[in-house]
Amino acid sequence: MSDARADAAMAERLRELLVERGAALVGYADLHQVPSEARLGLPRGVSIAVALDPKTIRGIEKAPTAEYFALYRSANEFLNELAAAAVEFLTDCGYRAEAWPSTGGIDQETLTVQVQHKTLATRAGLGWIGKMATLITPQYGAAQRFVSVLTDAPLPVGEPIDESRCEDCRVCTEKCPAGASAGRNWKVGMARAEIFDAFACRDWSRARAERTGDGIPICGRCVAVCPHTQGYLERSGE
């Protein structure tokens, strides 16, 4: 078997392993154009997504719910388990692999992380960044969460997506209670602040949780109202 065929077979085995364990999407990214420190010095990335329960997402179209907050946390835990499985597989194949947790390492002063799951997902061709800085995929809209694995394994990579496919849609912008979206379409290389005010989103969500006393520090309305998410909900019967 040629090296290319062997690499493709390894990539397919890894994809099958992750899908069997519950991954909804798996993509491979060439990260050479990403700064070295933002990819832990490794040239390839594995982007792994799990789809969020459609019934729970339908329930947050007007306000966050305890069910959504619980789903948010359980999805993160499950993603970290998938990432660990990917790391084990790749190291068993003789390559370096490092997982970056689904939610972790957030700098509270900048609300950024060293390794961006959305960057890996766009480089893998899984989706694009929407007007609320959420990752949008054709299959699930914004109703999925991601985890990333960095590696030196020569995985065949997807075709990167370099610009938004939201076009003139402004649903998430208009429905955001925090007014956090600038309403602009993303292109690769744009700073987050040109698209989305993460501090306005965080502050509104915290103020709402304090006002209501429900202890839910996230919103999620933009996830639910995205037309691509709505398509996912309709296909699922919700």
Q: Is 44 in a helix, a strand, or coil?
A: strand
Confidence (pLDDT) at 2: 54
d(C-alpha 28, C-alpha 169), whole Å: 28
Alpha carbon of residue 119 to chain centroid: 9
Confidence of residue 107 (pLDDT cuts 50, 70, 90): confident
Tens of pLDDT, residues 8-26? 999 999 999 999 999 999 9
- Cα(169)–Cα(167) distance, integer angstroms: 6
Q: Which residues contact 229 (CB under 8 A, 6 or more apart)?
A: 57, 140, 141, 142, 143, 223
The mean pLDDT of the chain is: 95
DSSP 1: -
Residue 1: the pLDDT is: 44
pLDDT confidence tier of residue 105, bands split at 50, 70 and 90: confident
In angstroms, the CA 23 to CA 102 distance is: 13
Quick one: average pLDDT of 223-227? 97
Q: Which residue range(s) make up the domain with 101? A: 3-236
Distance between CA 46 and CA 97 in Å, rounded? 10
| Number of structural domains in the chain | 1
Q: Could you tell me which residues come within 8 angstroms of residue 189 by beta carbon, excluding any fewer than 6 positions away? A: none
- pLDDT range class, residue 167, cuts 50, 70, 90: very high
